[in-house]
Structures are given as C-alpha cells and as structure tokens.
Structure 1
C-alpha cells in the first residue's frame, strides 16, 4: 500500500501546487478565511470525504472524514495569513501538505480499518481555534494528530514554549499625581529587572501599551513555570499599586498556549518515514521561539508536530514575506510532497500496527504522572 500511496502522490502534484498558490494569492485574516475554507472543502468533497463546515460553531472551521471507526488519524490545516505580508509562516504550504497527505492515505483506507480525518483550524495567527476546540472535545475521539510545517530547518520534534499572554490594567486616580501611564512605565522597568532572575528559557516579550492597557507575553519551557512567573508579576503589580495608590488587575489577554508534549513513539516513526522519503538530516529537541496551539491537545493525544526546511538559502528570515514567496518554489513543492508522503506513511503505519497507538498513548500517560 505504500507503493499505491507513492504512485497516487505523483498524480496530484499539480493539485498540491494549485492549492498552495491559491492560498498564497488569497491571504485572509484570522477567522475570516472563507475563500480558503471553500477551496479546501470542495477539494476534499471531490476526493470522497464527508465535509462539515462551521465546525464547533466556528464559521471558517471544518471537519472532513473518509472511512469508519478506529484508528482515527487526523491531519490539521492552518490557513490564515497576514493581510499585508501574506503567508509569512508558510501556512499555505502547511495546509497543502496536510491535504495531500490526507487524500493520499484516503486512497488505501478502504483496504484497512480506520478513518482519515482533516480538521481545519482557523485563526492560528490570532490565538488559534484549536484551544477552544480542545476544550469543546473536538479531539477526544482522535487517535493521532499529524502536521508538518514549513521552516528554515528540519526539526523532528521542535520544543515549542508555553506562552501566557497577560493584560495589566491600572486605573487612573483623578485625585493623585501619578497616572496609569506612569504605572506602566514603572511596571515595564521592574519587569525587565525581574526577568534577569528567570530560569533559562523564560522571557517576557512583546511589551505594548495602548488605550491605557499594558499587554505582555510570558514564554517558558512549561505552562507551570509560566504560571509561577505570572504569580511573581501579580505580586509586583500589587506592591506597585499600593505604593502609588492605583487600582489594578492582571488578567489573560487571550487564550494561553501550553508547551508541546513530545511523543517519542510517533516522532521516531515519522523521522524514519521522512528519511525513507528523502529528507535525511533532522535536528531533534531544537528550541523554537514561537508557541503552538497544538500544545493543549498534545497533553492527551499523540501528536507529530514537525518542521520541514523548504529553503536552499538559509539566510531568508522566518517569518517574512520572503519566506512566503519561497513556498511557491519548485524546491519547496518537492520538499512539501516528500513531507506529505511521510505523513501519509505514518498514518498508514498507525492503521496497520495499532500497537504503536497504544504505545504512544501509554507514553503520554507516563509523562503526565
């Protein structure tokens, strides 16, 4: 069946490029990805999938499935972009890789037991929808989740940090001499000093003050560590508020991202398949600066969340408009096809050797204890 998948992939190379190109030409902002949703779901319908739009009451989300029962192998699509700069993270190619892998695996699913599922998760650049979907139980019945994203480097299991976005608000006291802006300036200065004592891998980033609100992002190797830092910040702002006589509060600015839980069982399997498909040089356990909304899901469901280099020129910055352009290159399309093949092979392996799923789930249980 691996040969059948490989042969079929060679016949849909142009469809993969056309999807990548369409998304590149039509970047849509988070949660308004109507053109992307329509294009992707029509393609899946044409390939025999049953498709549900407005999934989990999220207008531009979707759920597609072919096959029945378990194992349920899920491919994730992220398809929002930056209106001005385009697909600076390569979401157009990432979606194309997922769709190509899914429809390739779907060609053989009737010969084995299980289901191929595609879930479209909009809004990745603006907090994402996966966290909300996770809380609503969208992934509870899934056996494994697979996604491979374009990047500068090949990273088998990138270590994505936990991210805790916080909003700090000081209320002006008309009877006092100090304003909320004074409080924000003092807070930022104190936070910069506080950060010097953080554990390795912990930072405070993306300071911004607008409409008398200060927003920051905490990054840490684990969500528990990020929560500890939040507690320190609350102590700091409480003390400052009392000293200068301003009421204040610290709340979440948006939904937080948990760190990715590594599933070595799936990573080993996917790495083997990448090498079989021609992507040989892989880095492991490399830390990346961006978080992943897949974090909350990876705590309970085995996930592959790999990065694949689509660049010959490693000096091209990521994320950037230049990186977005590279997704259309012949080299990027060739690499994307190999990544899709490796994802499809991994899904096939999990369907044929269901003990691997049991092993992967057991690994996550051990990690959580």
Structure 2
C-alpha cells in the first residue's frame, strides 16, 4: 500500500505548483507555464516526456516503464483555466492530483511490472484535447484512465452527458432599416425564429436533454437590417445516440427558420463535441475503497450529472474514472470565485492529498491484482454490448 508518508515526500512540490498555477491561470491550449511545471516535476522522478501531442503544443505524455511486463495505468492531467475566473474549476489541483499519483505509483512499478503514464490534456473547458487523443488512438494501448475532480463534497464516479456545441450563422441582406427596409433580409429574424422553434421542441424531448444558447452577434446597428447574425448552443443528452437525434431535430428547426425569414443558415461546431461518460462501477468502487482510507468525510453516492467533459471520449475507448473529492465546502459550486479560492486553502490541499493517495493505490491494486483489472474490463465490455 502507498502510505501518507510516501505522499509527504512530494507534498510541498505539489502544493507549490498548485499555487503557482492558481496565480498564473492560462486558457486552453495556452497552458505553457502549467505544462512546464507538471512535466518538470515528472521528469525529476524519472519519467520520459513527450510534448506537442496530437498537434496540441501544451499536451504531453509522461511515461515511466518497468522492465517487467504488465498493465498500463494512465492518469489524466487537466490544467486549463476559465476566462475571467482563473482556476474556478480546480484544474490547478487536478493536474497535480494526477502527477502526484503517477509519481507515487512509479516508485512501485519496478516491483509490480507494467507502466505508468501521465497524459497532459489541454483545454478541457473548451476544445478538449482528450477528444482528439481518443480519435488518434493515444489511449488504445492503455488499460484504464484515472482522474479526480475537486468538488464541494466527495462523491463516487458516475456518468456525464454527451454534448454538441453548435453555431448557427444566418445570412441575409443589409438595408437601411428606416429608409428602405423592404430591400433587406433580416438575419437576426432567422436567429429569433431558431430560438422560438427550439422552445416548443423541449416538450417532446427526454428529461435528460439540456439545450442552452446565446446570441453572439445580433447585427451592427439598430438602423441597419442585420445581414449576419449568430447564435451558439450547447446541446446535451445522456447518450450520444439520442443526442444525435436531438441535434437532427434542431438542424431542421434552423433550416425552417431560414426558410421562414428568407435567410440562409450555416451550421458548424464552435468547439469539439464530447461523448457521454460511460461509468464503470467496478473501477469506481475500487477507488472509493481506497479513498475511504484517507478521508474523514462522507463519500456520497453518484448522482445523475448534467455536465459534460472530454473524458467521455476516453471512456468509449478504455475504462475511465472521474470521481469527486471534496474540499469541505458544501454548497460551493465550481465556476465561482469562492470555489477558486478554496483550491489553495488547507481544505483544498487536503483534497489534493486524498486524491493522490486514492488514485495511486487504485493504480497499484490494478497492477498487483489481475482479477480486479479483468473485472473492470469485463464490465466495460458488457456496457458496450448494451
């Protein structure tokens, strides 16, 4: 077992890096400083570093391989910040949770056999690199992918919604809105009819569907008929298959809105789409068992998520884990200044400690016990059959 005294050997470095990332937040695909902090720490402990993965300059793969054959345990590191809010989603902790777990497990892998890999995955908040990595087969030779997210309270790993971020650009014809409006074609009318058409559609969709959007461009001036208007929507559902059906309905609404207003519409993705997270209860229970050894707080049962993350695409390739470790701040939600500040408190660092130790011991048991790993893979296969 990997003990608290093992964590103490890297505690100061991890906390220092978490504070540095908090003070120097970087947006997705711009996380150069955070990448250097994390890869320098890994390199110090014997990991081989490869950067610029899948043509993402701030992505990396850090590998520590035993000379003995064995499974490959992957830890996923996130380190991008939110625009205007900094690390209000706690990625300054997430990156260090995975790096710390990878380092502690690497100290045992020469005995157990196998390989420890820490994958640095930029831009989870917007254009998640895990999607491209999954598409290009980065995870195909790995056995499991593990990560932890800080939260207000601790809870088990569950599911997440698939998401399509769609942009609707309507094109019309400009004209003076007072002088000769009859010569214009109002692109904003197309956007408004899109909203009007989506609203009654909600009644006929499953309860898990979430549709939320904004108008990002409504025209240039009130006295000019808008020739171009744009709306962006996030569309989510429990499963990719049903989300595809919903998106097709919304595409038809957009086409109808264009037909009604005499405009033309172009539909595109403004960010990458994410698949739903496929839960693995065997893997989740294993993590929870180890988490309980290092926490005094309640670990809540998994709840139905209404969020989305690019780890969903990883879970369509290999078994994946995404539980939550609490920072002892019930009711304080992510993407708020209060959550950001909690990440560098004593409670935030206690969550970092718990996550590192639980992740490292989960990886260790998977390396040492082939029956447990086979049970994880069997559940994955059964869920795909369904």
TM-score normalised by L of structure 2: 0.90
Match status 1:256 vs 2:273: yes
Q: Which residue in the other structure is 1:17 paired with?
A: 15
Q: Distance in 1 between matches of 2:71 and 2:349?
A: 29
Q: Which residue in the other structure is 1:205 paired with?
A: 212
Deviates most, 290-299 or 197-206: 197-206
Match status 1:186 vs 2:168: no
Q: What's the CA shift for 1:43?
A: 0.9
Deviates most, 22-31 or 330-339: 330-339
Per-residue Cα deviation, 1:31-81 (whole angstroms, up to 9, x for no partner): 011111111111111111111121232111111011234310011111011
Per-residue Cα deviation, 1:180-236 (whole angstroms, up to 9, x for no partner): 101111111221221133211112113233262211111111111211111111222
Q: Which residue in the other structure is 1:71 paired with?
A: 71
Q: Could you say what secondary structure the match of 1:39 adopts?
A: helix
Q: Distance in 1 between matches of 2:269 and 2:81?
A: 24
Runs of 4 or more consecutive aligned structure 1 residues displaced over 6 Å after TM superposition: none
Q: What's the CA shift for 1:153?
A: 2.5
Is the Cα contact below 8 Å between 1:274 and 1:280 reproduced in 2? no
Q: Which residue in the other structure is 2:384 paired with?
A: 368
Q: Could you say what secondary structure the match of 1:75 adopts?
A: strand
Is the Cα contact below 8 Å between 2:90 and 2:150 reproduced in 1? yes
Which of 363, 368, 372 is the equivalent residue of 1:356? 372
Q: Distance in 2 between matches of 1:152 and 1:214?
A: 33
Q: Distance in 2 between matches of 1:107 and 1:273?
A: 18
Match status 1:307 vs 2:324: yes
Is the Cα contact below 8 Å between 1:162 and 1:222 reproduced in 2? yes
Deviates most, 163-172 or 231-240: 231-240
Q: Which residue in the other structure is 1:60 paired with?
A: 58
Q: Which residue in the other structure is 2:359 paired with?
A: 343
Q: What's the CA shift for 1:24?
A: 0.7
Q: Which has the larger radius of gyration?
A: 2
Unmatched segments (≥5 aa) in structure 1: none
Q: What's the CA shift for 1:265?
A: 1.2
Which of 301, 310, 313 is the equivalent residue of 1:293? 310
Q: Distance in 2 between matches of 1:166 and 1:83?
A: 20
Deviates most, 151-160 or 43-52: 151-160
Is the Cα contact below 8 Å between 1:207 and 1:217 reproduced in 2? no
Count the aligned residue pairs: 366
Q: Distance in 2 between matches of 1:254 and 1:29?
A: 14
Q: Distance in 1 between matches of 2:99 and 2:11?
A: 12
Q: What's the CA shift for 1:82?
A: 2.6
Q: Could you say what secondary structure the match of 1:108 adopts?
A: helix
Is the Cα contact below 8 Å between 2:139 and 2:317 reproduced in 1? no
Is the Cα contact below 8 Å between 2:18 and 2:93 reproduced in 1? yes
Is the Cα contact below 8 Å between 1:266 and 1:360 reproduced in 2? yes
Q: Give the root-mean-square deviation of aligned CA atoms.
A: 1.7
Q: What's the CA shift for 1:176?
A: 5.7
Q: What's the CA shift for 1:173?
A: 4.4
Q: Distance in 1 between matches of 2:317 and 2:132?
A: 15
Q: Could you say what secondary structure the match of 2:324 adopts?
A: strand
Q: Which residue in the other structure is 2:40 paired with?
A: 42
TM-score normalised by L of structure 1: 0.94
Per-residue Cα deviation, 1:71-130 (whole angstroms, up to 9, x for no partner): 100111110113532101000011111111111111111111111110101111222111
Q: Which residue in the other structure is 2:121 paired with?
A: 121
Q: Distance in 1 between matches of 2:299 and 2:370?
A: 26
Q: What's the CA shift for 1:253?
A: 2.6
Q: Distance in 2 between matches of 1:317 and 1:116?
A: 32
Q: Distance in 2 between matches of 1:133 and 1:144?
A: 15
Q: Distance in 2 between matches of 1:84 and 1:215?
A: 19
Per-residue Cα deviation, 1:1-33 (whole angstroms, up to 9, x for no partner): x15x43211222211211111111110111011
Q: What's the CA shift for 1:242?
A: 2.5
Q: Distance in 2 between matches of 1:83 and 1:202?
A: 26
Q: Distance in 1 between matches of 2:54 and 2:198?
A: 39
Q: Distance in 2 between matches of 1:209 and 1:183?
A: 14
